[in-house]
Chain A
């Protein structure tokens, strides 16, 4: 149970999710079950199945290069936590 091959704290940090100590412990336990299940899948013979990242039998869905109306700026900015003139305003980004 303890040798979960995933660093919960690191993943949570990358995903910007703040976990309490209890939550971390709970997720570690749940992930351990998940990995256990994946190990069961490893036992299956899949030699006749080709690997894919997509199971829907559809391909090449594309649109024509046509311009349609955009949002009014006021509407675009309406949900922003903060704005300044025509811009979205966010805490300073350091580069």
Chain B
């Protein structure tokens, strides 16, 4: 079979080029009110009910900076090792688009709140940040899809217009789609730990655009980049980047040039497509926002904000591994969400057994969450004290491991006192030797064949008899006592 020349060139092209990727991540800040006005900052409110003259861009209205939005951005900056600028200002980014009712967006152009910093990937590679700046979000357009497809109008909800938004711009240090996904996961973990955003990509509180270019391996000069948009999950970001790298390699292999443009990601087709740009030539005619005075944040205030940062994911992961003797993997899983990590620590303290607490949370609890239809531990009414008590009950032999699973299911679904659940359902372990001895004798009489086999040297016949006793006791007999009694009788 002959390989077509096109495929062969493409394959070569992939090997000869290295991708250069930078990410622009927009994160909505979880303030109570909007960036420049006192409207509610609320996801999912009734359309156009969280709006006022300022965020609707009505003449005569004036913006005032939300102090907490500045605080949140600075805290994100500290957590990511950025330098907070001693002097910063806002600028107008001018463009006509109906999602910005003022016909400009208040953003920061040449004096962002922070510069520098970086994100460390799980491989240890550091992706440098260029800057983080503060701006306002735009309204939401409703078009495309369903009955709207092919319609000649667009509907707009301005509830999101004016929501505080920070834009985190990385340096083009990312060299693969995997690294891009890792970068996003790490960024999300840090931001969710410090509590400045919900960072939910499916709700739009985290959005990501990727600048992708490729260049001959080893070259210093950057290739022409494209900006890829419209990805709705970390996975989509990875897929879109992978596709865009392959597309550019194919183009170059075919002797074409890459056009600098914005491309949209089509999740269904798995391809990127050329988008009409918002503004010709991207000439935004930035100028300093005349309605806002600059920021020169007080060193004491900055020091206080910095001191209020919680333990960050990376530090907590390392501490979990060291303090609790967990594997790197367990520590990683248990610290991915701050609330999960808090729950784990409280459970470990309640049962005084960090290893068991980890096993339960990553095993039976996770399984029970799934069957109860929960997607996160935080959705379950179970408390750490309740789970800790359950683990104690199993460890002490007061209930068997099997009964423990049953109690776990109930706790995860409804919460409650494990002792009360055990009493109510008669799940307490049978530890009375006389009672167990009767069951053992019954099993021995009923399974003479296995008894003979065991005596004849078949060791696994012993386990069969144990199983039969457990069956008779409906899983409640203390298995240690069962084994001891069988051994005693069969010699």
Contact = CB atoms under 8 A, between A and B. Distances in A.
Contacts of B51: 70-71, 76
Contact of B65 (A56, A62, A89): A62
A13 B31 CA distance: 37
- Place the interface of chain B in its size category: 35 or more
A61 B154 CA distance: 37
A27 interface: no
A88 B160 CA distance: 14
A76 to B, nearest CB: 5
A70 B66 contact: no
Interface string B260-299: 0000100000000001100110010100100011111110
Interface in B88-147: 89, 94, 96-98, 141-144
A48 interface: no
B89 A73 contact: no
A54 B293 contact: yes
A90 interface: yes
Given A70-B39, A87-B48, A59 B295 contact: yes
A62 B66 contact: yes
A89 B276 contact: no
A87 B47 contact: yes
Given A61-B64, A73-B49, A92 B38 contact: no
A91 B154 contact: yes
Contacts of B143: 92-93, 95
Contact of A88 (B152, B156, B292, B293): B156
B64 A62 contact: yes
A67 B46 contact: no
Nearest to B103: A16
B367 interface: no
A66 B298 CA distance: 22
B52 A71 contact: yes
B40 interface: yes
User: Which of B89, B153, B276, B283 has the most chain A CB atoms inside 10 A of its CB?
Assistant: B153
Given A70-B50, A90-B98, A64 B156 contact: no
A63 B64 contact: yes
B207 to A, nearest CB: 14
Given A66-B32, A67-B39, A70-B50, A92 B154 contact: yes
B394 interface: no
- Place the interface of chain A in its size category: 35 or more
Q: How would you classify the secondary structure of chain B's contact residues: helix, strand, loop or mixed?
A: loop
Contacts of A79: 58
A5 interface: no
A68 interface: yes
A86 B46 CA distance: 8
Nearest to B42: A67
A89 B142 CA distance: 10
Contacts of A64: 67-68
A60 B293 contact: yes
A88 B65 CA distance: 26
Nearest to A68: B38
A14 interface: yes
A65 B89 contact: no
B40 A70 contact: yes
Contacts of B450: none
Given A14-B285, A67-B40, A92-B152, A73 B48 contact: yes
A2 interface: no
A58 B293 contact: yes
A68 to B, nearest CB: 4
Contact of A93 (B32, B33, B98, B296): B98
Nearest to B96: A16
Contacts of B297: 60
Interface in A40-92: 53-54, 56, 58-68, 70-71, 73, 76-77, 79, 82, 84-92
B53 interface: yes
Contact of B33 (A16, A58, A67): A67
Contact of B141 (A65, A76, A93): A93
Contacts of A71: 51-53, 56
B155 interface: yes
Contacts of B48: 73, 76-77, 86-88
Contacts of B253: none
Given A63-B67, A64-B68, A65-B69, 7 more contacts: A59-B295, A65-B68, A66-B33, A70-B51, A73-B47, A77-B48, A92-B152
27 contacts: A13-B280, A16-B96, A53-B288, A54-B288, A56-B293, A59-B296, A61-B64, A61-B293, A65-B31, A65-B32, A66-B32, A67-B32, A70-B39, A70-B40, A82-B153, A84-B155, A85-B155, A86-B46, A89-B153, A92-B152, A92-B154, A93-B141, A93-B154, A94-B276, A95-B143, A95-B264, A95-B276
- Across the A-B interface, give the 9 residue pairs with the lowest CB-CB distance, nearest first: A53-B288, A87-B155, A68-B38, A65-B68, A62-B67, A86-B47, A88-B156, A90-B98, A63-B64
